[in-house]
């Protein structure tokens, strides 16, 4: 979900695990040469989702990195498949709509939240997306009100216990975060 901490947690987790970190939204903006919001406003969600799918396919094919995706990336089956393909691993950072609203109440950059009732929108998005996040993820981590350091340590322990990094030298897995 938007605001669950994918980029912030992912960046710190990648650093602690010695992986390269990429944010698919930043990669999309680089490819477009403009902000997602301006592209989204001009071209619409469907055009954005096509670009997003192309970028995620490219990023997940390389391996050896920590990738934070946009919250709606899981809406397309091709993205869910790419995130789980070829030894990639996915972690769902789960936050309640109420917690997300607390974090995002002053946000003006997320196009899907620029509505009269953003909490209702977050609840609707959560109801729509949660099953897809769960389908794609190997682990679900409830973010709650944990500190950044606690979340990073919790996920790092899960990664170690799952043995994901043991295979890094041979198959270069990627870790993706959705939510």
Judge contact between 63 and 168, C-beta under 8 A: no
Q: Is 102 annotated as contributing to ligand binding?
A: no
For residue 44, the tally of other CB atoms under 10 A from its CB is 10
Q: Residue 83, Cα to own-chain centre: how many angstroms?
A: 10
| Residue 129, annotated as binding a ligand | yes
Check the annotation: does 4 bind a ligand. Answer: yes
Q: Is 11 annotated as a binding residue?
A: no
Dihedral (C-alpha) 120, 132, 112, 144: value to the nearest 10 degrees? 60
143 is annotated as contributing to ligand binding:
no
Q: Is 54 annotated as a binding residue?
A: no
Q: Does the annotation place 6 within a ligand binding site?
A: yes
Task: Determine if residue 121 is labeled as part of a ligand binding site.
Answer: no
**Residue 71 counted as an annotated binding residue:** yes
Q: Is 117 annotated as a binding residue?
A: no
Half-sphere exposure of 139 (CA within 13 A, CB side): 22
Rounded to whole angstroms, the Cα distance separating 87 from 85 reads: 6
Residue 33 annotated as part of some ligand binding site: no
- The token pair at 162 is 């799952």
Q: Residues forming the annotated binding site? A: 3-8, 25, 49, 71, 110, 129
Q: Residues forming the annotated binding site for substrate? A: 25, 49, 71, 129
Q: Residues forming the annotated binding site for ATP? A: 3-8, 110
Q: Residues forming the annotated binding site for Mg(2+)? A: 7
């Amino acid at each position: 979900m938007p605001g669950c901490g994918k980029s912030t947690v992912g960046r710190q987790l990648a650093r602690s695990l010695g992986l390269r970190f990429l944010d698919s939204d930043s990669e999309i903006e680089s490819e477009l040469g403009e902000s997602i919001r301006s592209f989204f406003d001009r071209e619409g969600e469907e055009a954005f989702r096509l670009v997003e799918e192309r970028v995620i396919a490219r990023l997940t094919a390389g391996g050896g990195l920590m990738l934070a995706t946009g919250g709606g990336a899981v809406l397309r089956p091709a993205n869910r498949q790419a995130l789980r393909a070829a030894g990639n691993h996915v972690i769902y950072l789960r936050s309640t709509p109420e917690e997300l609203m607390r974090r995002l109440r002053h946000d003006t950059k997320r196009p899907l939240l620029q509505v009269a009732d953003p909490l209702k929108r977050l609840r609707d998005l959560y109801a729509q997306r949660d099953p897809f996040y769960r389908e794609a993820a190997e682990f679900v981590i409830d973010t709650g009100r944990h500190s950044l350091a606690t979340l990073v340590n919790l996920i790092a322990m899960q990664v170690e216990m799952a043995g994901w990094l043991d295979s890094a030298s041979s198959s270069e897995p990627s870790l993706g975060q959705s939510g």
